[in-house]
A = this chain, B = another copy of it.
Amino acid sequence: MPYTVGFDFGTNSVRALIVDVRTGEEVGTGVHAYRSGTDGILLDPGNPELARQDPRDYLDGLVGSLRAAFESAPGTFNPADVIGIGIDTTGSTPLPVDADGRPLAFDPRFAGNLNAYAWLWKDHTAHAEAAEITERAGELRPEYLAKCGGTYSSEWFWAKILHCLRVDPDVFDAAATWVEHADWMPAVLTGTERPDRLRRGICAAGHKAMFHQDWGGYPDEDFLGSLDERLRPLRRALPDEAYPAGQASGRLTDDWAARLGLPHGIPVSVGAFDAHLGAVGSGVAPRTLVKIIGTSTCDLTIAPVDQDLADIPGLCGIVPGSVLPGHYGLEAGQSAVGDVFDWFVRRVAPKGMDHASLTAQAEALRPGESGLLALDWHNGNRTVLVDQRLTGLILGLNLHTPPAEIYRALVEATAFGARVIMERYEEYGLPIERVVNCGGISASNPMVMQIYADVMNRPMHLSRSTQTCALGAAIAASVAAGEQAGGHANFESAIEVMTGVAEVSYDPVPANAAIYDRLYRLYRRLHDAFGIRGERDDLSDVMKSLLEIRDVVRTGIPTPHPLDPERGMDASPIGLTRS
């Protein structure tokens, strides 16, 4: 009865999932919410771009989530049957550590200094440094940029480190190195935190830190030195190797075995990002796009390494082995999806209106009938514009616009954003035939999935598991454990038995798809006008085109439409009893 445990460190909480290695059955799960800050995020009211986390929450979360998972498991489950641990986290979420690999956040000298904490993926304080890295790489190392979509993001490893160096040299100087959250967790569990022993994952290194075998690993010292001389020693301390998930980072220490109640010495897989292992847990394959839809999205696919693949502008990375061995892992994503809907419900919409009531009203609307169009950039644009200094837009408002129309327009905007990503893959020789969705929204909101099917004009499948990231981590653990220990020889065989899609799926409705084609063209024009430097467009038809579409949808007749006096009479609220 071999089991593995997958830990999925999300933005606000960590989940532990206990999985039957032979069937993929999820026999136990538990969630531990981070305790610090606002929903686990340390914020600075004076700087909305700042988002940090306390590594203590990560450690507490290991124990807390697994204990809850044990409690939820049936009596037939025995922790002694666990053969391996896998881990995924958000990213790029680097934290500065000392020479023992201990987070500076734990150093009393830096108590309360948020720069010493983990720099959460959604921290955008480093946008100026990201722009600087992009510019410098464009001059000196264009090949670095080409592998990460042409633009280095403020969310990523080097931008954050450089920003720390600039604004808080004390923290920078005290750091022996910076470690991705995804790498730090396996190191802690296996007692390999010391920088010279730590195994770093190819997923984080390749997608966020410009690591590539073509140039011998991390960016070279001269390039980093051109950004700031003080980066040179940091680079020299970095290793030349990075490892894929499915390889062991080390073996569970006695101490952690005791704290977790798991067998000591079992392998802990090299860590990876939530999205990449989520793709694994969703059964990722060539020509399949896996969309992990949460507060933000990741949109991943893979391609055989023997395919002749061009560099794809705007992608978050093209990294051999970052998802599955033998394949390029290709990552794209939207900076906010669920977060956009949450913003509207929590901050703006009438009290008492929640996602359910807004969805019920929005579902009754037909595509195009509101005349609204939105840009889903409330948290910037990760793909394909790679620009965190973009913001959300709503257009087409009139004096009658109700909240449900805005809510639907926001959902549609995220669908249009998803289509931009899909089309970028296709333009570069990666046709997408099916989409497998996972994450809470995909399972809980059929309206969202139908709109995605109609906008993207592809069938939307749902992953069988509702915890694909944690499942992917458990799959990585089963591969790290290996066949002999009761695990799997490779990812292919693990995916074969441990993943699947749900019975329910969503097919595009041709009439809706036709309307959304028109709306998407308008979205794309706003996208380019506000997002791409040098684009000059005459937008004076945009509002009118939306009204034309609205009128056609409402009346079936192109503008100008005659008023039907009968309809006017019947539908009017006029009191006919007066004479």
**Partner-B contacts on A (CB < 8 A):** 35-38, 42-48, 50, 54, 56, 108, 111-115, 125, 127-129, 163, 166-168, 336, 339-340, 342-343, 347-352, 371, 377-379, 389-403, 406, 529-544, 546-547, 554-555, 559-560, 562-563, 565, 567-569, 571-576, 578-579
Contact = CB atoms under 8 A, between A and B. Distances in A.
A347 B391 contact: no
A449 B538 CA distance: 34
A574 B36 contact: yes
Given A351-B350, A543-B389, A565-B113, A571 B45 contact: yes
A113 B569 CA distance: 6
Contacts of A402: 347-348
A113 B566 CA distance: 8
Contact of A352 (B340, B351, B390): B351
Given A113-B569, A538-B535, A578 B398 contact: no
A42 B572 contact: yes
Contact of A574 (B114, B339, B348, B565): B114
Given A543-B390, A579-B111, A571 B46 contact: yes
Contacts of A348: 348-350, 401-403, 406
B393 A393 contact: yes
A563 B399 contact: no
A115 B544 contact: no
Given A44-B568, A538-B535, A574 B112 contact: yes
Contacts of A108: 579
Contacts of A559: 128
Contacts of A343: 397-401
Given A390-B543, A530-B542, 20 more contacts: A36-B574, A47-B567, A112-B572, A113-B568, A115-B563, A128-B560, A166-B562, A167-B562, A168-B565, A347-B402, A348-B348, A348-B406, A391-B396, A392-B401, A393-B395, A529-B529, A530-B543, A535-B540, A536-B536, A539-B539
Contacts of A336: 399
A563 B379 contact: no
Contacts of A536: 536-538
A457 to B, nearest CB: 27
Contacts of A554: 46
Contact of A114 (B50, B529, B568): B568
